[in-house]
Structure formats: structure tokens, C-alpha cells
Amino acid sequence: KLNTVITLNPRALEEAAVLDAERASGSVRGPLHGVPVLVKDNYDTVNMPTTAGAIGLAMSIPPDDAFQVRRLKEAGAVILGKTNMHELARGITTISSLAGQTRNPYDPTRNPGGSSGGTGAAIAASLAAVGMGSDTCGSIRIPSSHHALVGLRGTRGLASGDGIIPLSTTQDIGGPLARSVEDLAITLDATVGFDPADPNTVLSQGNIPDTYRDFLDENSLQGARIGVVSGLMGSGDAEQPVRDVIEAAIENMRGLGAEFLEVEELDVTELLADASVIGQEFKFDFDAYLAKTPDAPVRSLAQLMSLGLYHEVVDEGLRNSLEVESLNTNEYRDRLAKREEARVAVVGIMDDHELDALLYPTIRQTARPIGQRQPGSACALSAVTGLPAITVPAGFAEDEMPVGLEFLGRAFAESRLIGLAYAFEQATQHRRPPDFTPSLVSPPSSFGLLAAVTVTVPYSVLGQGSFVLDPNTRVLNYSLLLDGVGDTDFLLVDLHRKADDSENGPSIRRLRGNRDSVVGEVILEGREIRLLREGKLYIDVHTRERLTGALRVDLSLPRED
């Protein structure tokens, strides 16, 4: 239903059995021993195709594992399979020609973010313990924000990009998405470090602690100085719900001993303009990857496009990349220089104000419905400067969708960011699992709601019906047969919410019905799901004789045993 996984590892059970035998014999490799992990389908895996979601790479078996996949296996992780992604990592709503659209488990009518949206949705739905994604401009952090997860974009050079299908080698970095800061730290320990195949990782030498778990300190916010980036906080009606959540989080952190400063001198629009190199580098980096992958069915971006083996959602971006003839241009050099200027400016502001981190929302709007554009990303500050940023759950907006808060720090300050995120997470416990992600053991396809029928006396209207909710799609099917309503008496039927201080409350949507029956289906929104969970939804049959309701049906979820 969520469409998160492209390929399952056919040897997963066999590999798990070997690891179980190791544990039984007293040999444990570490905290990831036997732990199930899903990886984004742009990480090379020697026993499974690596497709980046494109039809043109559906049968592409790489010659070896990506460096980070190899490190996970050495740590004892079981790679369950490969997750869907926004095709070729060129977008943030996760749709691909090979696997289609991934859905958000908090509301399957909405997008899961991207490009690592398949990983985000799968980990939020507990299909694996942790997952691996890649981030070129928000592709780890945006899915983390949309799924109440923790995600880290590390400092450039922290982790190897060897064996990850590139979007831009200058901006790419792989890393984990997890349900807790501790899980992220454990996975980070296993996957970062020097790799001779990736020269950038020489920068990590001397900058990686023995374990990031040493920085899981609940008191890390005490005395911390944090700058709020005014230009990334959002404005206007569409962005206010997320801003409200972030501002509440800031107040939480003040109570935990953090000091905040408004950083208004950081003109992010000017600072980050014309500093991305994705459009310039993609064709050359992608073709170089294909040259090292002998079994890839296509040999170049040009061939992939000429055969039409890709999704139209990435068509414009691919065509623009195809037109780039050389990297030996003043425009490309200017963009690289702009990146360095941005990094120096950001670090300078942090130094001037003696800040531990900058803070802003990861994305200024919650996940939009599938098919709509997803605005509001603040991905570029970290992606352009190469500085590390961590996303941590900040709470839920008024539409009951998750909101992520982002801390950005100096180069190789991942330890400090992990400490700040952990202190906030432990104090607030904002994350909660999706309400209607079914259990992996005997998942229900649907279940009936409890319905208490109240008849207004002495008016004699009777009702008999059923109300069934599909937990995967949030579709509520309703069927209510009516008896006792006159031909001209029927007015309408609607769904109400109870007020906080009353058993009655306003109408929130009209239902289909007539004097004989009320039959149809509705897709419940996140707020309505919350009201249903709290027992605050009811249906009213309104008639001319009894405008206040001739028959009322109170709805609630069945109680768990």
C-alpha cells in the first residue's frame, strides 16, 4: 500500500540465520548485529539491481557493494532490500518509472518527501530498524521531516560516496534515517570514515569520535547558544502551521537551558543563489558511474533519454543537464566559488555570535497531497556550504502531519548536533508512529468502527448501518439505512466534531444521503483521524422537524485487547 520497496534481498533469511548462529556461539559484531536495514536504491548492492528508480537501470547489477553497504554488512546488519526513490534523486516527492509513487504512512494521500522517500516511509512504518538515504539537497532531511524521523546530512567528506549513483559528486553524501537519535548514532558509527575510493573522505581523518553514542547527553542544550535563521523560518498562511511548531520547540529548548539569538543578517536568498552544481555535474557524474558498471543496460544519460526509459517527472531536469557541454566554464567555476563564499559567511556569523548551531525548519510546509508541488524546502544552506545538519522531530502541525526541526553546525560538528538533537528528543518525545500503519503480523485490511446510535425523543427515526475504515488508505465507508423520515422532512446528513467543552460541535463535512439511506465513502484527513481516535466524531441526520438532529451516530475506534 505504501509502495516503499523496489527489490527484496532473496538471501535475507539465509544471512539472518548465519548471524543468529554467530550470536549463539558468543560472537557479536556490535549493536547492528542481526538488525534489519533497508537501503535506497541508488546504493550499489552486488546481489540486487541498483536502479535509482529508472526503467533503464532495472537490470543493472553492480560489480560490488557500495562502501557504506559493505560497512553495514561487516557490522552484522541484514540488508532487507532496496527502497523506492524520486527517480535518479532529482526531486522531493518520490515517484519513479520503475516503482511508481511512494505514499506517506502518516497520510497515504500525501507524498513522503524525497528523494529518499521510500526509505523514510519504510522506516516510519517500522518495515526495518533503520534505513540509508542520500542527500544532495535535502533528500535525507526532507523525508525525515515528513515522517517524524531523525536524519543527518554529514559534513562533506564524512562518509564515502563510492558506489552511490551520483546526482552531484560535489553535493552528494549518504547517511542514515532512523526513528531515534540513538539509532542514528549507532548506524553512523558503522558507516562513516576514510575510503580510498572517495578522496573527499580524507577530510574525515581525525574528525570522527570513537563512537557518536558518547554524545547522547540529555543535558546538551544546557548553555547552548543557537541562532534562529529568520530568513528560513517561513511567512504567510501556508507556512505558519510549521512555524508555529518550530516556535513552540524553541520555547521548549529555552526551558532546557538553551539561549537563542535571531540571525537576521544571513540573507539566504542572496547567499545561496546560483551556488548549486547539480545541473552542471549530473550528466558527467552519471555517465562516469555507468562506465564503471559493465552490466548497466544503458551507457549514458543521452541513451537513457533517447530510449525513453525514465519518468516524465524528471524530463525537464534531465534535458537541461543533457545540454551542459563542459564543466570547463566560468559559470561552473563561479558556482564553486559561491559555495565557498557561503560557507565562510555562515561560519563567520556563527563565530561572531559564538553559536553552537543554527536552527530553522527543514521544510516550511508539511507533506502536500500526491500530485501537488512540494514547496518550502530549506535544504540548500547545508547542501551549498557543505556543513552538517541534523533533522529531529519537532512535533505535529494542525493537519496532524510531522514537522522537522534542523540544526546546522560547523564542519565535522556532528557530535555536537547529535547531542543537541538528543536532548530535545528526550525532553519532548514528539515522535509517534503512524496511527494507521497496519501491524506486520496479520495486518487488517479494514475494521469496523464502534457506533453508538442516539435517537432524539419523541421523534421516531431509526437507523441501522455499518461504518468500516481501511487503515491503509484512510477510507471510511458508511452505510446507514433510515426509517421514519418523511418524504419532505429529510434535510441533510453531516459529520461533526465534538467541541472540547461539549458533546456537540460544528459540522466538518457533508455526507451523501437521502430520506432512506446514507451511503458513501470519505477519505479522512489527519485531523479527522485524531478526532476519531479521541472519540470526538459523530454523524447527525438533520430533518426539518428536528434541525438539531433526529438521529445521531457517535463513532469511535474499537479498543485493543
Q: Which residues are known catalytic residues?
A: 40, 115, 139
What would the DSSP string read from start to end of 14-58?
Answer: HHHHHHHHHHHTT---STTTT-EEEEETTB-BTTB---TT-GGGT
Question: Alpha-carbon distance 67 to 476, whole Å?
Answer: 46
Helix, strand, coil: what percent of the chain each, to 5?
30, 25, 45
Nearest to 88 by CA among 150, 34, 167: 167
Pair 52, 85: CB distance under 8 Å: yes
Burial 287-316 (b: 16+ CB within 10 A, else e): bebbeebeebbbeebeebbeeebbbebbee
DSSP, res 498:
-
The cell numbers describing 512, all together, are 451523501
Tell me whether residue 452 is exposed, middle or buried, using C-beta atoms within 10 angstroms of its C-beta: 0 to 12, 13 to 18, 19 or more.
exposed
C-alpha to C-alpha distances, 142 to 286, 388, 480, nearest whole angstrom: 23, 15, 42
Question: Alpha-carbon distance 431 to 498, whole Å?
Answer: 26
Pair 470, 446: CB distance under 8 Å: yes
The cell numbers describing 448, all together, are 469496523
The cell numbers describing 214, all together, are 558518547
DSSP H or E run through 79: strand 78-83
SS (H, E, C) 407-465: EECCCCCHHHHHHHHHHHHHHHCCCCCCCCCCCCCCCCCCEECEEEEEECCCCCCEEEE
Pair 53, 90: CB distance under 8 Å: no
